[in-house]
Amino acid sequence: MKGRLAEKIIEKLLFICALSSILIVFFIIAFILKEGFPALTLGGDFIAGMTWRPSRNQFGILPIVISTFIVGIGALAIAAAIGIPAAIYLAELSPEWFRNIIKPSIEMLVGIPSIVLGFFGLMVLVVFIRDTIGGYGECILAGWIILSIMTLPHVISISEDSIRAVPEAYKEASLGLGATHLQTIRRVILPHARSGILASLVLGMGNAIGETMAVLMVIGNPNIPWIPTGVLEPVRVLTSTIVIEISYAVWGSIHQHALFALGVVLFIIVALLNAITTAIIRKSVRRSGSR
């Protein structure tokens, strides 16, 4: 009887532990919102304002948000251009030994500390761009390249998984009809894996936008951000603005609240992208489940 009771108590304790994630997410949302609230009440001046100049109490985030999307989308385009063909090769054409070398290296690449990658970008990429293409070197282009390196492994892994999830029978049917392997990949496998690949891209976008240190080191972060007109211009993104300014924002000032409000905006953007990913995956699961 006593053992029973102990088992019940432990089960309840495990249950409480499982609830902790919910609690933590609520705490994060509540505290960030509460701190960002005074700046969010600026309304249009905050969301649609064109000038971010804390010294004059101007907190318009539009140029920062637009730059964030420009940097994120460009990085994603590069990652997709390399990652999707790589995923096709690894899932369909690669010999086993080649896969066994590439897969662990992709996993390592995911984990390379972003600050180290950023430092590499600062020392190599920025210098290279400045010397061969021109400009300051610290620019959107450098941000694209560094971020695409960070997004690439995610795009490859998830795309590869979704290519592998295409039923073998489809492939065999196509091959049996006399199509070559490459024709089968293009006409049968890719259309079926499309939603999984799309999900990997949206998720990669979320990662790219939330990434902080690597991108901060290479994009220049001008004091007063503007909407960029070329890829060689320095920009500021949401994450880099928070990190750089939080250290000197006066505690309790509207500046500090504005930085937390940037956190809220970042959170909302990334949450939306994640929700889209989940919706895409759920839809594709339902479609394949209905067969």
User: Quick one: 225 or 263, whose CB is closer to other proteins?
Assistant: 263
Smallest distance, Å, CB 170 to other proteins? 20
Smallest distance, Å, CB 87 to other proteins? 8
Smallest distance, Å, CB 229 to other proteins? 26
User: Quick one: 138 or 233, whose CB is closer to other proteins?
Assistant: 138
User: Quick one: 29 or 50, whose CB is closer to other proteins?
Assistant: 29
Smallest distance, Å, CB 3 to other proteins? 7
Whole-number Cα distances in Å, 131 to 137, 149, 217, 290: 8, 21, 18, 57
User: Quick one: 6 or 250, whose CB is closer to other proteins?
Assistant: 6
**What number of CA atoms fall less than 13 Å from residue 154's CA on the CB side?**
21
Smallest distance, Å, CB 235 to other proteins? 17
Tallying the residues shown for the chain, one arrives at 291
User: Quick one: 42 or 90, whose CB is closer to other proteins?
Assistant: 90
User: Quick one: 123 or 173, whose CB is closer to other proteins?
Assistant: 123
3-state SS record for the chain: CHHHHHHHHHHHHHHHHHHHHHHHHHHHHHHHHHHHHHHHCCCHHHHCCCCEEHHHCEECCHHHHHHHHHHHHHHHHHHHHHHHHHHHHHHHHCCHHHHHHHHHHHHHHHHCCHHHHHHHHHHHHHHHHHHHCCCCCCCHHHHHHHHHHHHHHHHHHHHHHHHHCCCHHHHHHHHHCCCCHHHHHHHHHHHHHHHHHHHHHHHHHHHHHHCCHHHHHHCECCCCCCCCCCCCCCECCHHHHHHHHHCCCCCCCHHHHHHHHHHHHHHHHHHHHHHHHHHHHHHHHHHHHCC
Smallest distance, Å, CB 135 to other proteins? 19
Smallest distance, Å, CB 223 to other proteins? 15
User: Quick one: 17 or 250, whose CB is closer to other proteins?
Assistant: 17
Residue that is written with structure tokens 């290279």 in the block: 128
